[in-house]
Amino acid sequence: MVGLLPQDEQFVMVEGSAIIEPDAVGEAPSFLGHVTASCFSPNLDRSISLALLKNGRDRHGDTVTVSGLDRTIEALVVPPIFIDPKGERMRS
């Protein structure tokens, strides 16, 4: 499980969208995973997503292509915790 941050901060990705290598658009793409959840975060003022991605933990910082129903977009692979990763707010 990884987090995804789309380059277009206002675009909410469609759940179920395929994740492929960035250079595979137009070819027979290599399927790497899919988006499992996506929403707009008012706390971060941007869209965020969770995804299942092959070797996801090793890909933090990489850019992948997300191909949905009507749009293909680049997204940054990040850890799946977007707010308070150290748990400081919870323990305050």
Q: Which of 62, 63, 45, 50 is nearest to 9 (CA)?
A: 45
Measure the CA–CA gap between 54 and 32, rounded to whole angstroms.
Answer: 5
Dist CA 3 CA 49 (whole Å): 6
What residues does each domain of the chain span?
2-78
CA distances from 18 to 33, 88, 89 (A): 6, 34, 34
Position 72 pLDDT exceeds 80: yes
pLDDT confidence of residue 70:
84
Percent of the chain's residues with pLDDT above 70: 95
Each residue of 10-46: pLDDT tens digit?
999 999 999 998 776 666 778 999 999 999 999 999 9
Banded pLDDT at 47 (limits 50, 70, 90): very high
Could you list the beta-strand ranges (E) of the chain: 2-6, 18-20, 31-41, 46-53, 63-67, 72-78
Highest mean pLDDT among 35-44, 69-78, 81-90: 35-44
Task: Give the CATH fold of the 2-78 domain.
Answer: Elongation Factor Tu (Ef-tu); domain 3 (2.40.30)
Q: Are 37 and 83 in contact (CB under 8 A)?
A: no
Task: Tell me how far apart the alpha carbons of residues 54 and 51 are, in angstroms, rounded to a whole number.
Answer: 10
